[in-house]
Structure 1
Amino acid sequence: MDCKGLSFLVWNVRGLNDPGRCRAIRAIILKSGAAVVALCESKLELVTSFDINAMLGPRFDGFDYLPASGTRGGIVIAWQSSLVCLDSFVQGVFSLSARVCPSGEAPWWISVVYGPTCDLLKPAVVRDFNLLLDPEDKNNLQVRRSWIRRFRLVINELALKDAPLIGRDC
């Protein structure tokens, strides 16, 4: 996503508790040149400045997070304060929202959602971005094709693009 020169990267990282995975994520984020990074499914109950520096580098000097519940969920939003300011954070049960204040432009809001894994709770999260676009992305045979169809409609309606993950092992 690009907002008048600002790059945003939103990624379901499937856990940030492995040093090797963190190194791979850091390399991709640095290469992306993103000013704001939102990492879903962090699986971290606590995130410190030290963690952000280790995962993203010293340029990302602002952050907030929604803690994981045990080993489930968790959202981290980090930004480079030399490029953009984020403030007024609001934590929801499955979301983290912030006001984005680009220099010299009108502020706007970003919301990052990581929905529940329990099937009974999923309909309660409007536009759950924890769904699949393709049955091949599922690691077992329990595929909800109606949910995939609905999710594809939302992706198309919002004109979003799926960035394929290269080297899925990271």
Structure 2
Amino acid sequence: MDKRRLVKNSILDWGADIICLQETKLEGDIEDVVNYIWGGRWASYACLEASGTRGGIMMIWDRRVWKGEIFQIGSYTLTCRFESQLQNFECHITGVYAPNCDIEREGVWWEISAVRGLMEGPWAICGDFNIVRFPTEKRNCRRRGDNHTSASRIDRILISEEWDDSFSNIKQSLLQRVTSDHVPIVLQCGDWDQPKSYFKFDNWWLKTDGFVDRIKSWWTTFDFEGKPDYILACKLKALKGKLREWSKSSQGSLKVQKSDLLNQLAVLDSVLEERILTEGEMVEKASLLLKYEDLLKNEEVAWRQRSRAIWLKEGDKNTKFFHKTANAHKRCNNIDHLMIQEELITEPQRIKNEIVDFYKTLYTETEEWRPASNFGNCPTITEQDKNLLQSRFDEQEVLGCLKCVCYGQGSRT
């Protein structure tokens, strides 16, 4: 009863619409158990009974939010079909509890593939797979728990491409475990605001005609005064502004270039519907198609750079993978809660204000007194020495330094 009370409190804290529990070890009529741990009268559930004291899967959902039904029950999986009561969205969710035996676990993969073949559309699969993807996800372990230093990552939530395409924002995070040696995982999907993206230098710009010459001309036009490091920082800042402005033009924006090329091809296609293209128009269409292929290659380079998937080669079939990887990184690039003086803040605007105030305080000087910078009586070098220090190294000077180094090494040996 103590464990059930802990599970009930955790479910109330999570506030989830759908809960999937593994290793329930429950059999028979469990309606009273469901009503107790859910803590309300709007619970519907589906259950895969345990085999003795091993296994068992239970899926509970709020029927005010979801209309659910059992889709398929297997030996190791429980699949339910859900239809949202609040928006136009349908999906399937599969709960998994894989056995620890390698031979029995092979049947889990066949069962999952068979279930997927029976459905279409968004699909999520969650649970204890009892296997890791890489050796780094385990620490030479067979057991898990508070009193063991060993651990492994065997609990996951996986989603299909259709699920990924259905939401602009998807976030998966870990929750605090209280009564089990498994860590709860929450999957949040929605359309909350994304943070504004910062300026990025796209590698495909280097393939643009005249890009390097344009950079040189911009760099030479910048005129700042001050110390060398200050001049360099100002020039880089000015160059970033020029690049940002140029990136929105037809030469610097892939989106603008693609739209322009497609419009030109559409004009030629409309002409082709009325008459046969002339030789010049056919050459123009072939040239536009070649430019479009080059544009797609540049687009893949851009998405590959944003995805940071450097282990995969660039190729025609990889753009979609780079796109999804970049979107996944962007979804993780946000701060949805912040602890300030033992207070948990979740409002986006307040989080932003607290971060700004923190760095303002960090970089604000509290000292009111500074030593006077009157160094008129300090010894200085002559103008001739100054010019000598700023002059370029000549060949004889470099050769003399190398001879001194080689002579010093030879004397030590």
TM-score (norm 1): 0.69
Q: Is 1:78 matched with 2:60?
A: yes
Deviations 1:96-149 (A, max 9, x none): 0011101231311111111123232113322862336433774279x9xxxx69
Q: How does 1:114-125 map to 2 (within 5 A)?
A: 114-125=97-108
Alignment correspondent of 2:46: 64
Q: Which amino acid aligns with 1:135?
A: R
Structure 2 vs 1, CA of residues 156 and 73 (structure 1 numbering), >3 Å: closer, same or farther? closer
Q: Is 1:45 matched with 2:49?
A: no
Alignment correspondent of 1:4: none
The structure whose RCO (Cα within 8 Å, separation 6+) is larger is 1
Deviations 1:57-96 (A, max 9, x none): 1245201100000001100011111111111431011000
Structure 2 spans left out of the alignment, 5+ residues: 113-127, 161-169, 182-413
Paired positions, count: 146
Alignment correspondent of 2:143: 139
CA distance in 2, matches of 1:169, 1:115: 17
Greater helix fraction, Structure 1 or Structure 2? 2
Alignment correspondent of 1:3: none
Q: How does 1:90-169 map to 2 (within 5 A)?
A: 90-103=72-85, 104-126=87-109, 129-131=129-131, 133-135=137-139, 138-139=142-143, 161=172, 163=174, 165-167=176-178
Query: Percent of aligned pairs with the same residue?
Result: 27
Alignment correspondent of 2:10: 28
**Please, what is the CA RMSD of the aligned residues?**
3.5
Larger Rg: 2
Greater strand fraction, Structure 1 or Structure 2? 1
Q: Which amino acid aligns with 1:110?
A: I
CA distance in 2, matches of 1:139, 1:165: 19
CA distance in 2, matches of 1:106, 1:59: 24
Q: Detail structure 1 runs of 4+ shifted over 6 Å in the superposition.
A: 154-160
SS at match of 1:125: helix
Q: Which amino acid aligns with 1:118?
A: C
SS at match of 1:121: helix
Structure 2 vs 1, CA of residues 160 and 139 (structure 1 numbering), >3 Å: closer, same or farther? farther
Structure 2 vs 1, CA of residues 169 and 112 (structure 1 numbering), >3 Å: closer, same or farther? closer
Q: CA deviation at 1:161?
A: 4.2
Preserved contact between residue 11 and residue 37 of structure 2 (Cα < 8 Å): no
TM-score (norm 2): 0.31
Preserved contact between residue 59 and residue 80 of structure 1 (Cα < 8 Å): no
Structure 2 vs 1, CA of residues 137 and 21 (structure 1 numbering), >3 Å: closer, same or farther? farther
Structure 1 spans left out of the alignment, 5+ residues: 1-18
